[in-house]
Structure 1
Amino acid sequence: MTALAELKVFATHPHPCSYLPDQQATTLFIDPETTLDSNLYSDLADVGFRRSGPHVYRPHCESCNACIATRVDVNQFKPTRRQRKIHNRNQDLQVLELDSIDDEAAYQLYMHYITVRHQDGDMFPPSREQYDSFLNDSIGVTRYYGFHLNNKIIAVAVTDQMRHGLSAIYTFFDPEHDRRSLGTYAVLWQIEQTRKLGLDHLYLGYWIKECQKMSYKTDYRPLQLLINNRWLTLS
Protein backbone atom coordinates (compact mmCIF):
# COMPACT_ATOMS: atom_id res chain seq x y z
CA MET A 1 0.00 0.00 0.00
CA THR A 2 1.23 3.50 -0.79
CA ALA A 3 2.41 5.38 2.32
CA LEU A 4 1.03 8.85 2.87
CA ALA A 5 4.53 10.31 2.82
CA GLU A 6 5.07 8.90 -0.69
CA LEU A 7 2.01 10.53 -2.24
CA LYS A 8 2.38 13.31 -4.77
CA VAL A 9 0.34 16.35 -3.82
CA PHE A 10 -0.42 19.45 -5.90
CA ALA A 11 -1.52 22.87 -4.71
CA THR A 12 -3.80 25.31 -6.50
CA HIS A 13 -3.00 28.96 -6.94
CA PRO A 14 -4.69 31.19 -4.34
CA HIS A 15 -8.30 31.88 -5.29
CA PRO A 16 -11.30 33.59 -3.65
CA CYS A 17 -12.66 31.54 -0.75
CA SER A 18 -16.13 30.10 -1.30
CA TYR A 19 -17.08 30.47 2.37
CA LEU A 20 -15.40 33.52 3.91
CA PRO A 21 -15.50 36.93 2.24
CA ASP A 22 -12.22 38.69 1.50
CA GLN A 23 -10.22 35.51 2.07
CA GLN A 24 -7.91 33.74 -0.37
CA ALA A 25 -7.95 29.94 -0.40
CA THR A 26 -5.39 27.33 -1.46
CA THR A 27 -6.27 23.66 -1.89
CA LEU A 28 -4.08 20.56 -1.86
CA PHE A 29 -5.01 17.75 -4.26
CA ILE A 30 -3.74 14.19 -4.29
CA ASP A 31 -2.14 13.40 -7.65
CA PRO A 32 -5.04 12.15 -9.84
CA GLU A 33 -2.71 9.45 -11.21
CA THR A 34 -2.54 7.86 -7.74
CA THR A 35 -4.34 4.54 -7.42
CA LEU A 36 -6.65 5.01 -4.46
CA ASP A 37 -8.26 2.13 -2.63
CA SER A 38 -10.43 2.05 0.47
CA ASN A 39 -7.49 1.72 2.87
CA LEU A 40 -5.50 4.64 1.45
CA TYR A 41 -8.65 6.75 1.20
CA SER A 42 -9.40 5.95 4.86
CA ASP A 43 -5.89 7.01 5.89
CA LEU A 44 -6.29 10.27 3.99
CA ALA A 45 -9.65 10.96 5.66
CA ASP A 46 -7.96 10.51 9.04
CA VAL A 47 -5.62 13.42 8.25
CA GLY A 48 -8.33 15.70 6.97
CA PHE A 49 -8.72 14.94 3.26
CA ARG A 50 -12.12 14.77 1.56
CA ARG A 51 -13.43 13.59 -1.81
CA SER A 52 -15.29 15.60 -4.44
CA GLY A 53 -15.88 13.59 -7.60
CA PRO A 54 -12.50 12.23 -8.76
CA HIS A 55 -10.55 14.65 -6.55
CA VAL A 56 -9.29 14.05 -3.01
CA TYR A 57 -8.38 17.37 -1.43
CA ARG A 58 -7.68 19.35 1.73
CA PRO A 59 -7.63 23.11 2.38
CA HIS A 60 -4.11 24.48 2.83
CA CYS A 61 -4.42 28.25 3.12
CA GLU A 62 -1.41 30.39 3.96
CA SER A 63 -3.07 32.78 6.40
CA CYS A 64 -6.19 30.93 7.51
CA ASN A 65 -6.98 27.61 9.21
CA ALA A 66 -10.73 28.08 9.59
CA CYS A 67 -11.66 24.87 7.71
CA ILE A 68 -11.73 22.05 10.27
CA ALA A 69 -12.41 18.41 9.35
CA THR A 70 -15.25 16.88 11.40
CA ARG A 71 -16.64 13.47 12.22
CA VAL A 72 -19.31 12.06 14.54
CA ASP A 73 -18.50 9.28 16.99
CA VAL A 74 -21.60 7.24 16.19
CA ASN A 75 -21.30 4.98 19.23
CA GLN A 76 -21.40 7.97 21.58
CA PHE A 77 -23.93 10.03 19.62
CA LYS A 78 -27.11 10.98 21.45
CA PRO A 79 -29.85 12.73 19.44
CA THR A 80 -31.41 15.92 20.73
CA ARG A 81 -35.13 16.24 21.31
CA ARG A 82 -35.51 18.01 17.96
CA GLN A 83 -33.53 15.30 16.17
CA ARG A 84 -35.69 12.58 17.72
CA LYS A 85 -38.80 14.37 16.44
CA ILE A 86 -37.34 14.60 12.94
CA HIS A 87 -36.40 10.93 13.06
CA ASN A 88 -39.93 9.94 14.09
CA ARG A 89 -41.52 12.24 11.51
CA ASN A 90 -39.78 10.38 8.69
CA GLN A 91 -40.45 6.79 9.67
CA ASP A 92 -42.86 6.47 6.75
CA LEU A 93 -39.96 6.77 4.30
CA GLN A 94 -38.39 3.71 2.69
CA VAL A 95 -34.62 3.89 2.24
CA LEU A 96 -33.16 1.75 -0.53
CA GLU A 97 -29.57 1.35 -1.68
CA LEU A 98 -29.38 2.27 -5.37
CA ASP A 99 -27.01 0.83 -7.95
CA SER A 100 -26.38 4.35 -9.22
CA ILE A 101 -28.06 7.74 -9.58
CA ASP A 102 -27.41 7.93 -13.30
CA ASP A 103 -31.10 8.34 -14.10
CA GLU A 104 -33.41 11.20 -14.94
CA ALA A 105 -35.49 11.08 -11.75
CA ALA A 106 -32.45 11.52 -9.50
CA TYR A 107 -30.98 14.23 -11.71
CA GLN A 108 -34.25 16.18 -11.81
CA LEU A 109 -34.38 16.01 -8.01
CA TYR A 110 -30.80 17.32 -7.81
CA MET A 111 -31.49 20.09 -10.31
CA HIS A 112 -34.62 21.22 -8.42
CA TYR A 113 -32.72 21.17 -5.10
CA ILE A 114 -29.79 23.26 -6.38
CA THR A 115 -32.09 25.73 -8.13
CA VAL A 116 -34.26 26.31 -5.06
CA ARG A 117 -31.71 26.05 -2.25
CA HIS A 118 -28.31 27.04 -3.67
CA GLN A 119 -28.62 29.77 -6.26
CA ASP A 120 -25.78 31.59 -4.50
CA GLY A 121 -23.43 28.59 -4.61
CA ASP A 122 -20.72 27.26 -6.91
CA MET A 123 -23.02 24.52 -8.27
CA PHE A 124 -25.61 26.92 -9.70
CA PRO A 125 -26.77 26.64 -12.39
CA PRO A 126 -26.80 22.83 -12.24
CA SER A 127 -25.77 20.78 -15.26
CA ARG A 128 -25.72 17.07 -16.04
CA GLU A 129 -21.96 17.14 -16.63
CA GLN A 130 -21.34 18.72 -13.22
CA TYR A 131 -23.73 16.27 -11.54
CA ASP A 132 -22.04 13.22 -13.08
CA SER A 133 -18.54 14.47 -12.20
CA PHE A 134 -19.32 15.59 -8.64
CA LEU A 135 -21.22 12.51 -7.48
CA ASN A 136 -19.49 9.72 -9.38
CA ASP A 137 -18.04 6.61 -7.76
CA SER A 138 -14.42 7.29 -8.67
CA ILE A 139 -12.83 4.98 -6.06
CA GLY A 140 -15.36 2.14 -5.99
CA VAL A 141 -16.51 2.83 -2.42
CA THR A 142 -19.60 4.98 -2.98
CA ARG A 143 -23.07 4.01 -1.80
CA TYR A 144 -26.22 5.74 -3.04
CA TYR A 145 -29.22 5.73 -0.72
CA GLY A 146 -32.62 6.79 -2.03
CA PHE A 147 -35.34 7.96 0.37
CA HIS A 148 -38.77 7.13 -1.03
CA LEU A 149 -42.25 8.34 -0.15
CA ASN A 150 -45.08 6.35 -1.76
CA ASN A 151 -42.57 4.89 -4.27
CA LYS A 152 -41.33 8.34 -5.29
CA ILE A 153 -37.75 9.35 -4.57
CA ILE A 154 -37.61 12.55 -2.49
CA ALA A 155 -34.02 12.50 -1.22
CA VAL A 156 -30.64 10.97 -2.04
CA ALA A 157 -27.62 10.54 0.24
CA VAL A 158 -24.29 9.95 -1.48
CA THR A 159 -21.98 8.18 0.98
CA ASP A 160 -18.47 6.73 0.78
CA GLN A 161 -17.74 3.60 2.82
CA MET A 162 -14.26 3.51 4.28
CA ARG A 163 -12.39 1.12 6.54
CA HIS A 164 -13.59 2.64 9.80
CA GLY A 165 -16.49 4.86 8.86
CA LEU A 166 -18.79 6.43 6.34
CA SER A 167 -18.21 9.79 4.70
CA ALA A 168 -21.30 11.89 3.95
CA ILE A 169 -20.37 13.23 0.52
CA TYR A 170 -23.59 15.03 -0.40
CA THR A 171 -27.33 14.95 0.20
CA PHE A 172 -30.00 16.49 -2.00
CA PHE A 173 -33.75 16.41 -1.57
CA ASP A 174 -37.11 17.80 -2.65
CA PRO A 175 -37.43 21.29 -1.10
CA GLU A 176 -41.22 20.95 -1.20
CA HIS A 177 -40.95 18.57 1.79
CA ASP A 178 -39.43 21.25 3.98
CA ARG A 179 -41.36 20.20 7.09
CA ARG A 180 -39.58 16.84 7.11
CA SER A 181 -36.11 18.41 7.55
CA LEU A 182 -34.73 15.85 5.12
CA GLY A 183 -31.15 17.10 5.35
CA THR A 184 -31.11 16.48 9.10
CA TYR A 185 -32.87 13.14 8.72
CA ALA A 186 -30.33 11.99 6.13
CA VAL A 187 -27.48 12.65 8.58
CA LEU A 188 -29.33 10.85 11.39
CA TRP A 189 -29.98 7.90 9.05
CA GLN A 190 -26.32 7.75 8.03
CA ILE A 191 -25.28 7.77 11.71
CA GLU A 192 -27.56 4.76 12.25
CA GLN A 193 -26.24 3.08 9.12
CA THR A 194 -22.63 3.60 10.24
CA ARG A 195 -23.45 1.94 13.54
CA LYS A 196 -25.26 -0.96 11.85
CA LEU A 197 -22.20 -1.62 9.69
CA GLY A 198 -20.04 -1.88 12.80
CA LEU A 199 -18.09 1.27 11.92
CA ASP A 200 -17.07 4.07 14.27
CA HIS A 201 -17.40 7.44 12.56
CA LEU A 202 -19.52 9.43 10.15
CA TYR A 203 -17.34 12.06 8.46
CA LEU A 204 -19.21 15.32 7.78
CA GLY A 205 -16.61 17.30 5.86
CA TYR A 206 -15.31 20.70 6.91
CA TRP A 207 -16.71 23.06 9.52
CA ILE A 208 -16.02 26.79 9.64
CA LYS A 209 -17.06 28.55 12.82
CA GLU A 210 -17.80 31.83 11.03
CA CYS A 211 -19.84 30.21 8.23
CA GLN A 212 -23.56 29.99 9.00
CA LYS A 213 -24.15 27.34 6.32
CA MET A 214 -21.88 24.94 8.21
CA SER A 215 -23.24 25.58 11.70
CA TYR A 216 -25.57 22.56 11.52
CA LYS A 217 -22.61 20.19 11.94
CA THR A 218 -22.21 21.10 15.61
CA ASP A 219 -25.75 19.80 16.23
CA TYR A 220 -24.38 16.23 16.13
CA ARG A 221 -22.64 15.68 19.46
CA PRO A 222 -20.14 14.56 20.43
CA LEU A 223 -18.52 16.01 17.31
CA GLN A 224 -14.82 15.39 16.74
CA LEU A 225 -12.66 18.12 15.21
CA LEU A 226 -9.24 17.62 13.60
CA ILE A 227 -7.05 20.29 15.19
CA ASN A 228 -3.25 20.25 14.84
CA ASN A 229 -3.47 16.70 13.44
CA ARG A 230 -5.35 15.41 16.48
CA TRP A 231 -9.01 14.47 16.70
CA LEU A 232 -10.49 16.38 19.64
CA THR A 233 -14.04 16.03 20.95
CA LEU A 234 -16.44 18.95 20.99
CA SER A 235 -18.83 17.74 23.71
Structure 2
Amino acid sequence: MRHALPLAPQFYVTAPQPCPYLPGRMERKLFTALQGDQAEKLNDSLSKQGFRRSQNVLYRPSCSDCAACLSARISVADFAPSKSQRRTINRNAHLHRRATSPWATEEQYALFRRYLDRRHADGGMADMDVFEFAAMVEETPIRSRVVEYVDRDTGGLTAVCLTDVLDDGLSMVYSFYEPNMPRQSLGTWMILDHVEIAREAGLPYVYLGYWVPGSPKMGYKANFEGLEIFRGGAWTRKTPRDDYSEEMNPASTDPIAEQVANISLPDSRS
Protein backbone atom coordinates (compact mmCIF):
# COMPACT_ATOMS: atom_id res chain seq x y z
CA MET A 1 0.00 0.00 0.00
CA ARG A 2 1.35 3.40 -0.96
CA HIS A 3 1.04 6.14 1.63
CA ALA A 4 1.12 9.86 0.94
CA LEU A 5 4.22 11.27 2.61
CA PRO A 6 4.26 14.79 4.03
CA LEU A 7 6.14 17.49 2.21
CA ALA A 8 9.51 17.96 3.85
CA PRO A 9 11.00 21.28 2.72
CA GLN A 10 14.35 22.29 4.17
CA PHE A 11 14.37 25.44 6.28
CA TYR A 12 17.31 27.82 6.55
CA VAL A 13 18.12 31.00 8.46
CA THR A 14 19.69 34.14 7.02
CA ALA A 15 22.61 35.90 8.65
CA PRO A 16 21.61 38.85 10.86
CA GLN A 17 21.55 42.29 9.23
CA PRO A 18 20.30 45.73 10.29
CA CYS A 19 16.53 45.87 10.68
CA PRO A 20 14.89 48.19 8.11
CA TYR A 21 11.97 48.96 10.45
CA LEU A 22 13.31 49.41 13.99
CA PRO A 23 16.59 51.29 14.54
CA GLY A 24 19.30 49.57 16.52
CA ARG A 25 17.94 46.07 15.95
CA MET A 26 18.99 43.18 13.74
CA GLU A 27 16.73 41.12 11.53
CA ARG A 28 16.94 37.46 10.59
CA LYS A 29 14.65 35.37 8.38
CA LEU A 30 13.59 31.73 8.35
CA PHE A 31 13.09 30.59 4.75
CA THR A 32 12.51 27.64 2.45
CA ALA A 33 12.42 27.06 -1.30
CA LEU A 34 9.10 27.16 -3.11
CA GLN A 35 9.28 24.70 -5.97
CA GLY A 36 7.91 21.49 -7.43
CA ASP A 37 4.41 20.17 -8.02
CA GLN A 38 3.32 20.96 -4.47
CA ALA A 39 4.47 24.61 -4.50
CA GLU A 40 0.96 26.04 -4.51
CA LYS A 41 -0.17 23.84 -1.63
CA LEU A 42 2.93 24.72 0.39
CA ASN A 43 2.42 28.43 -0.26
CA ASP A 44 -1.21 28.23 0.84
CA SER A 45 -0.29 26.39 4.03
CA LEU A 46 2.67 28.53 5.09
CA SER A 47 0.93 31.82 4.22
CA LYS A 48 -1.61 30.92 6.91
CA GLN A 49 1.33 30.60 9.33
CA GLY A 50 2.81 34.02 8.74
CA PHE A 51 5.11 33.31 5.78
CA ARG A 52 5.47 35.53 2.73
CA ARG A 53 6.57 34.77 -0.84
CA SER A 54 9.47 36.41 -2.64
CA GLN A 55 9.93 34.83 -6.08
CA ASN A 56 10.71 31.15 -5.37
CA VAL A 57 11.24 31.57 -1.64
CA LEU A 58 8.90 31.58 1.37
CA TYR A 59 10.18 33.45 4.42
CA ARG A 60 9.14 34.59 7.88
CA PRO A 61 10.96 36.90 10.32
CA SER A 62 12.87 34.91 12.93
CA CYS A 63 14.85 37.53 14.80
CA SER A 64 16.77 36.69 17.96
CA ASP A 65 16.08 39.99 19.75
CA CYS A 66 12.34 40.51 19.20
CA ALA A 67 9.19 39.28 17.46
CA ALA A 68 7.83 42.68 16.43
CA CYS A 69 7.15 41.79 12.78
CA LEU A 70 3.61 40.43 12.83
CA SER A 71 1.91 38.98 9.78
CA ALA A 72 -1.32 40.87 9.07
CA ARG A 73 -4.43 40.18 7.04
CA ILE A 74 -7.84 41.79 6.61
CA SER A 75 -10.96 39.75 7.24
CA VAL A 76 -13.15 40.78 4.30
CA ALA A 77 -16.39 39.98 6.15
CA ASP A 78 -15.37 42.23 9.07
CA PHE A 79 -14.10 45.14 6.99
CA ALA A 80 -15.89 48.43 6.51
CA PRO A 81 -14.11 51.53 5.16
CA SER A 82 -13.61 54.50 7.44
CA LYS A 83 -14.65 58.01 6.40
CA SER A 84 -11.08 58.73 5.33
CA GLN A 85 -10.91 55.52 3.30
CA ARG A 86 -14.23 56.30 1.60
CA ARG A 87 -12.75 59.64 0.54
CA THR A 88 -9.74 57.76 -0.84
CA ILE A 89 -12.07 55.52 -2.84
CA ASN A 90 -13.85 58.56 -4.28
CA ARG A 91 -10.60 60.36 -5.13
CA ASN A 92 -9.45 57.37 -7.17
CA ALA A 93 -12.69 56.66 -9.00
CA HIS A 94 -10.92 57.64 -12.24
CA LEU A 95 -8.61 54.61 -12.02
CA HIS A 96 -9.38 51.50 -14.02
CA ARG A 97 -8.25 48.09 -12.78
CA ARG A 98 -6.84 45.46 -15.13
CA ALA A 99 -5.42 42.12 -14.03
CA THR A 100 -2.88 40.34 -16.22
CA SER A 101 -0.58 37.34 -16.06
CA PRO A 102 2.74 37.96 -14.24
CA TRP A 103 4.64 39.59 -17.05
CA ALA A 104 6.93 42.60 -16.56
CA THR A 105 6.79 45.59 -18.92
CA GLU A 106 8.97 48.65 -19.50
CA GLU A 107 6.10 50.88 -18.37
CA GLN A 108 5.90 49.02 -15.06
CA TYR A 109 9.63 49.29 -14.55
CA ALA A 110 9.64 53.03 -15.26
CA LEU A 111 6.94 53.51 -12.61
CA PHE A 112 8.80 51.20 -10.24
CA ARG A 113 11.99 53.27 -10.62
CA ARG A 114 10.14 56.55 -9.96
CA TYR A 115 8.58 55.01 -6.87
CA LEU A 116 11.88 53.71 -5.47
CA ASP A 117 13.83 56.87 -6.24
CA ARG A 118 11.26 59.01 -4.45
CA ARG A 119 10.14 56.74 -1.59
CA HIS A 120 12.87 54.15 -0.94
CA ALA A 121 16.11 55.49 -2.39
CA ASP A 122 18.13 53.96 0.44
CA GLY A 123 16.22 50.67 0.61
CA GLY A 124 17.35 47.18 -0.26
CA MET A 125 15.71 47.29 -3.70
CA ALA A 126 17.14 50.67 -4.74
CA ASP A 127 19.68 49.15 -7.14
CA MET A 128 17.29 46.68 -8.78
CA ASP A 129 17.75 46.72 -12.56
CA VAL A 130 15.18 45.83 -15.21
CA PHE A 131 16.22 42.16 -15.29
CA GLU A 132 15.90 41.78 -11.53
CA PHE A 133 12.54 43.53 -11.70
CA ALA A 134 11.37 41.10 -14.37
CA ALA A 135 12.49 38.18 -12.18
CA MET A 136 10.56 39.59 -9.21
CA VAL A 137 7.38 39.73 -11.27
CA GLU A 138 7.70 36.66 -13.47
CA GLU A 139 9.47 34.05 -11.33
CA THR A 140 6.49 32.57 -9.55
CA PRO A 141 5.61 28.88 -9.29
CA ILE A 142 2.07 29.62 -8.15
CA ARG A 143 -1.03 31.44 -9.36
CA SER A 144 -0.04 35.12 -9.47
CA ARG A 145 -1.45 38.21 -11.14
CA VAL A 146 -0.20 41.69 -11.91
CA VAL A 147 -2.98 44.11 -11.00
CA GLU A 148 -2.49 47.42 -12.83
CA TYR A 149 -4.38 50.65 -12.21
CA VAL A 150 -4.67 52.94 -15.20
CA ASP A 151 -5.95 56.53 -15.41
CA ARG A 152 -9.16 56.43 -17.49
CA ASP A 153 -8.51 59.93 -18.86
CA THR A 154 -4.83 59.79 -19.76
CA GLY A 155 -4.24 56.04 -20.08
CA GLY A 156 -1.20 56.37 -17.84
CA LEU A 157 -0.14 53.58 -15.53
CA THR A 158 -0.63 54.88 -11.98
CA ALA A 159 -0.18 51.91 -9.66
CA VAL A 160 0.74 48.21 -9.77
CA CYS A 161 0.45 45.30 -7.36
CA LEU A 162 1.94 41.82 -7.72
CA THR A 163 -0.74 39.62 -6.18
CA ASP A 164 -0.85 35.93 -5.33
CA VAL A 165 -4.15 34.04 -5.34
CA LEU A 166 -4.31 31.73 -2.31
CA ASP A 167 -6.98 29.19 -1.46
CA ASP A 168 -8.33 31.53 1.22
CA GLY A 169 -7.49 34.98 -0.06
CA LEU A 170 -5.26 37.39 -1.91
CA SER A 171 -1.68 38.07 -0.90
CA MET A 172 -0.33 41.50 -1.86
CA VAL A 173 3.27 40.50 -2.54
CA TYR A 174 4.59 43.91 -3.63
CA SER A 175 3.00 47.15 -4.75
CA PHE A 176 4.28 50.44 -6.12
CA TYR A 177 2.68 53.58 -7.47
CA GLU A 178 3.13 57.09 -8.83
CA PRO A 179 5.01 58.88 -6.02
CA ASN A 180 3.98 62.39 -7.02
CA MET A 181 0.34 61.96 -5.97
CA PRO A 182 0.41 61.90 -2.15
CA ARG A 183 -3.17 63.17 -1.86
CA GLN A 184 -4.43 60.09 -3.69
CA SER A 185 -3.19 57.70 -0.95
CA LEU A 186 -2.53 55.11 -3.63
CA GLY A 187 -1.07 52.53 -1.27
CA THR A 188 -4.23 52.57 0.81
CA TRP A 189 -6.36 52.62 -2.33
CA MET A 190 -4.81 49.41 -3.66
CA ILE A 191 -5.53 47.63 -0.38
CA LEU A 192 -9.13 48.84 -0.46
CA ASP A 193 -9.51 47.63 -4.03
CA HIS A 194 -8.01 44.23 -3.17
CA VAL A 195 -10.59 43.89 -0.41
CA GLU A 196 -13.22 44.46 -3.10
CA ILE A 197 -11.58 41.93 -5.44
CA ALA A 198 -11.55 39.34 -2.66
CA ARG A 199 -15.17 40.09 -1.85
CA GLU A 200 -16.17 39.64 -5.49
CA ALA A 201 -14.25 36.33 -5.65
CA GLY A 202 -15.68 35.00 -2.39
CA LEU A 203 -12.25 34.92 -0.72
CA PRO A 204 -12.22 35.64 3.02
CA TYR A 205 -8.84 37.38 3.47
CA VAL A 206 -6.42 39.91 2.05
CA TYR A 207 -2.87 39.29 3.28
CA LEU A 208 -0.86 42.50 3.73
CA GLY A 209 2.56 41.25 4.75
CA TYR A 210 4.05 42.39 8.04
CA TRP A 211 2.83 45.03 10.45
CA VAL A 212 5.52 46.31 12.82
CA PRO A 213 4.25 48.16 15.91
CA GLY A 214 6.38 51.24 16.45
CA SER A 215 7.51 51.49 12.83
CA PRO A 216 6.18 54.57 10.95
CA LYS A 217 6.72 52.72 7.66
CA MET A 218 4.21 50.05 8.65
CA GLY A 219 1.77 52.05 10.75
CA TYR A 220 -0.82 52.44 7.98
CA LYS A 221 -1.69 48.74 8.11
CA ALA A 222 -3.28 49.21 11.53
CA ASN A 223 -5.87 51.58 10.01
CA PHE A 224 -7.98 48.83 8.43
CA GLU A 225 -10.99 47.51 10.26
CA GLY A 226 -11.11 43.72 10.51
CA LEU A 227 -7.31 43.44 10.77
CA GLU A 228 -6.05 40.11 12.10
CA ILE A 229 -2.55 39.49 13.45
CA PHE A 230 -0.65 36.18 13.49
CA ARG A 231 0.60 36.03 17.06
CA GLY A 232 1.55 33.07 19.20
CA GLY A 233 0.80 30.64 16.40
CA ALA A 234 -2.77 31.84 15.80
CA TRP A 235 -4.67 34.61 14.01
CA THR A 236 -6.36 37.04 16.37
CA ARG A 237 -8.39 40.19 15.77
CA LYS A 238 -6.45 43.37 16.47
CA THR A 239 -8.16 45.84 18.79
CA PRO A 240 -7.11 49.30 20.04
CA ARG A 241 -6.60 47.82 23.51
CA ASP A 242 -3.93 45.35 22.39
CA ASP A 243 -0.45 45.79 23.83
CA TYR A 244 2.40 44.52 21.66
CA SER A 245 5.27 45.68 23.86
CA GLU A 246 6.16 42.11 24.88
CA GLU A 247 7.05 41.32 21.26
CA MET A 248 10.01 43.68 21.65
CA ASN A 249 11.49 41.50 24.40
CA PRO A 250 14.16 38.90 23.45
CA ALA A 251 12.28 36.39 25.59
CA SER A 252 9.41 36.53 23.08
CA THR A 253 11.35 34.53 20.50
CA ASP A 254 11.52 30.73 20.38
CA PRO A 255 14.64 28.78 19.34
CA ILE A 256 14.87 28.11 15.60
CA ALA A 257 14.49 24.35 16.04
CA GLU A 258 11.29 24.87 18.00
CA GLN A 259 9.93 27.29 15.39
CA VAL A 260 10.53 24.79 12.60
CA ALA A 261 9.04 21.93 14.63
CA ASN A 262 5.84 23.93 15.10
CA ILE A 263 5.33 24.57 11.37
CA SER A 264 2.42 22.56 9.96
CA LEU A 265 3.17 21.13 6.53
CA PRO A 266 0.63 19.92 3.95
CA ASP A 267 0.79 16.34 2.75
CA SER A 268 1.19 15.30 -0.85
CA ARG A 269 -2.32 14.02 -1.37
CA SER A 270 -4.28 15.89 -4.05
TM over 0.5: yes
- Is residue 147–residue 156 contact of structure 1 (8 Å, CA) maintained in 2? yes
CA RMSD of aligned residues (A): 1.7
User: Where does residue 209 of structure 1 map in the other structure?
Assistant: 213
Q: Answer yes or no: is the 8 Å Cα contact 1:54–1:136 preserved in 2.
A: no
Residue 171 of structure 1: CA displacement?
1.2
Give the distance between the partners of 1:113 and 1:98, measured in 2 at CA.
21
- 1:30 maps to what in 2? 32
Aligned to 1:187: 191
Match of 2:92 in 1: 90
Matched letter for residue 155 of structure 1? A
Paired residue for 2:176?
A: 172
Given that 2:144 and 2:162 are in contact with CA atoms closer than 8 Å, whether structure 1 keeps it comes out as: yes
Per chain length, whose mean CA-contact separation is higher, i.e. which structure has more relative contact order (CA < 8 Å, sep 6+)? Answer: 2
CA distance in 2 between counterparts of 1:32 and 1:95 reads: 29
Superposition map of 1:1-235 within 5 A: 3=6, 6-31=8-33, 35-149=37-151, 150=153, 151-235=155-239
Shift of 1:135: 2.8
Q: Which whole-Å CA distance do the structure 1 matches of 2:160 and 2:35 have between them?
A: 29
For 1:145, what is the secondary structure of its paired residue?
A: strand
Please state whether the residue corresponding to 1:184 is helix, strand or coil: helix
Shift of 1:118: 0.9
**Compared CA separation, residues 33 and 159, structure 1 to 2 (3 A):** closer
Answer yes or no: is the 8 Å Cα contact 2:88–2:185 preserved in 1: yes
How far apart in 1 are the matches of 2:15 and 2:146?
33
Offset from partner CA, 1:161-211 (integer Å, 9 cap, x none): 000000011111112222211111100000110111110000000111021
Q: Which amino acid aligns with 2:173?
A: I
Deviations 1:18-39, CA, capped at 9 Å, x for gaps: 2222212221111355554322
Aligned length: 234
Give the drift of 1:137.
4.2
Decide which structure has greater strand share. Answer: 1
Deviation at 1:11, TM superposition (A): 1.0
TM-score (norm 2): 0.81
Identity of aligned residues (%): 32
Gaps of 5+ in 2: 240-270
Aligned residues of 2:159 and 2:177 also touching (Cα < 8 A): yes
Q: Deviations over 1:128-156 (max 9, x none)?
A: 13312333341231111111113221111
Q: Structure 1 stretches of 5 or more lacking a match? A: none
CA 1:129–1:2: 2 relative to 1, 3 Å: farther
